[in-house]
Chain A
Amino acid sequence: MKFLRRFAVVTLIVAVVTGIGLAWNHFDPSSLIGGIPGANHVSLRDPAARKNGIEVLRPGNGHDRRILALPPDASPPRHLARNVIVVHLRPMDLGLNSMFERVDWPFLTHTVVIEAGVMAIVVFLARVRRRARRAWRTRRLASAEPAGGVRSALWRTRV
């Protein structure tokens, strides 16, 4: 019961955040999509693309190759066919083959390298900070230590 109550609260929070996103899209979408050149504009502005059911899956920056998703057995119009990767969509084609092709592995290694790099930096910084704090605390205790006697021994054990 406690778990369900918490789950409901969490779901509500996520719904509120999603609502913020919807409100952003409703009131001020241009703040996000104002200046993107490239792929999305093709699918929106080009009537030939819309007519042929072409969807752009990954927005390009004007230089990258675009990925176009097409219905099965369709081909892109000639003026859009240059410099694109065509993906034919089938509803439950999981595309598992792509995982076993060596050419696709760099996508995964790229992600892993970024994650590992960021983790290494954060762990390194955390360790440096921890060491600095420990050294500072030791110095502070040492400076506060009275000269000689039992009390001094107690201070030392605390450090």
Chain B
Amino acid sequence: MLKPMATKTVTTQARRNAVARARIDFWFDTALLLGFTLAYSYGFTGIAIHEWLGIGLGIALLFHLTLHWDWVVRTSVKLIDPHGRDKLIWLVNLLLLFAMTFCIASGILISRVALPFIGLYPLGGPFWSRLHVLTAEITLGLVPVHVALRWRWIMGVGSRLVTRPRRTAGRSG
């Protein structure tokens, strides 16, 4: 059995880990949102940045999904329960997985700059062009829903991240 002091240390460490993880999630997700916003604004970025950013987003999304894999498994198991929560978020996330995967895959297949630069010449074609445009529009609708359904978490972590440095600065000063 752990002594009270040891228990307290473990709890503090776990708490610190949770705070660090929340901070990573917050900044990583913010970067993803900004990246997607820029990548969608094709006329603003130009084709080369659009394509490289899209490829980067694809890799980042794999990490995003991996970091939240616990949630995916937990929520998928709870789907059977009629009182289970997060069903709407689960559905939105599933649609987003399909839309973003199709969007990025079709974007790679119609690449004009990024892939030719590394010596690959994708086949392209009207199907992939159309799929890219369609899924990009669906993704633009789903991404803000995905973000907004977690607005309480975002506000909580965001306000903590903003207020904590101020407090520290106040103490040191």
Residues in chain A within 8 A of chain B (CB atoms): 3, 6-7, 9-11, 13-14, 17-18, 20-21, 25, 29, 32-33, 36, 40-41, 44, 55-59, 69, 87, 89, 91-96, 98-99, 104-108, 110-112, 114-123, 126
Contacts and interface: CB of A to CB of B under 8 A. Distances in A.
B62 interface: yes
A123 B150 CA distance: 9
A40 B44 contact: no
Nearest to B101: A17
Contacts, number: 143
Given A7-B62, A14-B101, A92-B117, A104 B144 contact: no
Interface of B is mostly: helix
Contacts of B117: 91-92
A17 B97 contact: yes
A108 B81 CA distance: 42
Contacts of B48: 92-95
A37 to B, nearest CB: 12
Contacts of B130: 32-33, 36, 40, 59
B134 interface: yes
A118 B144 contact: yes
A126 B148 contact: yes
Interface in B133-153: 133-134, 140-141, 143-145, 147-149, 151
A8 B46 CA distance: 33
B47 A89 contact: yes
A134 to B, nearest CB: 14
Interface in B8-52: 37-38, 40-49, 52
A10 B138 CA distance: 22
Contacts of A3: 66
Q: Which A-B residue pairs are the 10 nearest by beta carbons?
A: A95-B46, A107-B43, A122-B148, A118-B144, A107-B44, A40-B126, A17-B101, A119-B148, A108-B41, A108-B44
